[in-house]
Structure 1
């Protein structure tokens, strides 16, 4: 599949969340993909994180939207440096019968094969890495940040820095597997300044994370179409080119 095929939408985080919600509410009738790149920076809180007055004020001062998503997990700094890929699975699809570890492992392998094909060195995570990351997150008081620890199915650099984060939204009419790839570095200090009023925690987050541009030595804008094409090529036949 050549670089001319670009099923990519560039838009806001609220617009992406609305599209995901609309499809899940209407019902997922066939496997589909949503490739989304954010057109502006925004701080995204997990569904269990309720922004307080301080966070709201700091976000307003920085002129950044502060949004809650429908999936769980910690805070994320989304922006043009991130590619969001959502895989929609019908409730009667064989994948929908798998537990969360199995279905995330399926998606993890697609991401590993995709990034490796694009010369982005990476690997999956195991239980020991997950356990260790949670200890580090606790010790460094970073549990509030989504990219501070690892979970099943996520993808890291060879030295263990997070590259792809995953989340799941499971509804009666379908499943959405949401993944976020850092194409290029983001400003972890600004995220920390807004969420916990401590920009210095950004240094710790920067050490725990990586991005496709830094790992490959290729500019993010050059990598992006190749990553999308490689991802589509590695999906099962019933997913082929069925983009939202």
Structure 2
């Protein structure tokens, strides 16, 4: 990642969409170079095709885990290794994931805090989430953190700033970002990147129009 990146997620409501491949083509044409998907929504063969398409376009591939139980998460981590993605985001079973990722070269960004439900929500106090972030970031195999800040009921700017201030590794803010002011907040609070999926696919981000290319270009401008 560079100083501050926009990661376009091929997802709606925490599921990879059926027409993800068409959206990859649109994103690449719009100059987007960070593209991700979830471990839920498409079979592994389709996800493999997505990774190949993203790579051919010169972009970086991200897989975000939203599985709630340990066994499903372990299967998703193994899938990430098989797919050869560049980044693995999310998940909460760090001690189970790290041995599977050893030697893969995949940069691992798990969730701090207590994650519940689907779509995922972040629960706990700011102090509890910061303590979780510090504990997870202390692992040598953890490259950064994936923070569901806007999926919490807390003061979001304060939460992002507290987590970023407590750890020396980069933080990605994921989930429920759909306005330029949120992007500015994320950047000002010290995060390294943010993800947007549903709001871009649904044409909700303020832009010249609702089409995906217009949405992506507007989000990219907001990030810049």
- Larger Rg: 1 or 2? 1
Structure possessing the higher relative contact order (Cα contacts under 8 Å, 6 or more residues apart)? 1
TM-score by length of 2: 0.27
TM-score by length of 1: 0.26
